[in-house]
Amino acid sequence: MAFSADELRVLRRALAIALHPMSLSDEDVQDCLRLAGSVDEAVAEAGRLRAFLLADLARYRHALPGSAVGYLELLQDALAAGYDPRPDDLAALRALRGGPLAASLLERCQVLAERSVRARLAGRTAGAAAPGPRGRLLALPGGRAAAGQEADRPATPAAPGRPPKPGARPAPKPSEVFPPRRRPAPPPSEERAAG
């Protein structure tokens, strides 16, 4: 996640206020709310991109063995993004392990899958609850002295079934985020002499 220079200025000011509490001006509160909204939007966008990547990975896996090259590339991208390989991935890699890339990915996925299973078992035996989704970011406490200023708070985002607000940026389509992959052109073949 990258912050603009203006967002970094707001973040630095918010951290300074958190370390040395004082009353906030309305402008500071609005800046913090805008920054919190931007961070929430970036997190939601990352979730949408991850869901698209996983759906694309599943499509390529179901089209194996014809889609082996694309599947292996997508699996590498997903593993780099923190994806835990599923049993279907391990089975697909076992079927493709004749190639060096598939064999190395199979070894890597087996290690990751074993580590994931051990972590889940350790969590169950320790009685640890799985972490829930992160809550909405809010402005720092102390920014609003009067309880009557709740009307200034921005509205919550629209529910999935409702039309978006005017001026709201629509979510990008997967085809806009990930353009179709271009196949390399075959090398030009020499013309055969008729004879």
Residue type, 54: L
Q: What is the pLDDT of residues 8-41, one digit of tens each?
A: 777 777 777 777 777 777 887 788 888 888 888 8
For the chain, how many residues are written?
195
DSSP 84-145: PPPHHHHHHHHHHTTSHHHHHHHHHHHHHHHHHHHHHHHHHHHTPPPP-PPPPP-PPTTS--
Stretch 172-193: mean pLDDT: 66
> Which of 100, 91, 103, 84 minimizes the C-alpha distance to 64?
91
User: pLDDT digit string (tens) for 64-117?
Assistant: 878 888 888 888 888 888 888 888 888 888 888 888 888 898 999 999 988 888
pLDDT at 147: 44
| Cα of 50 vs its chain's centroid, Å | 4
Query: Quick one: pLDDT at residue 136?
Result: 58
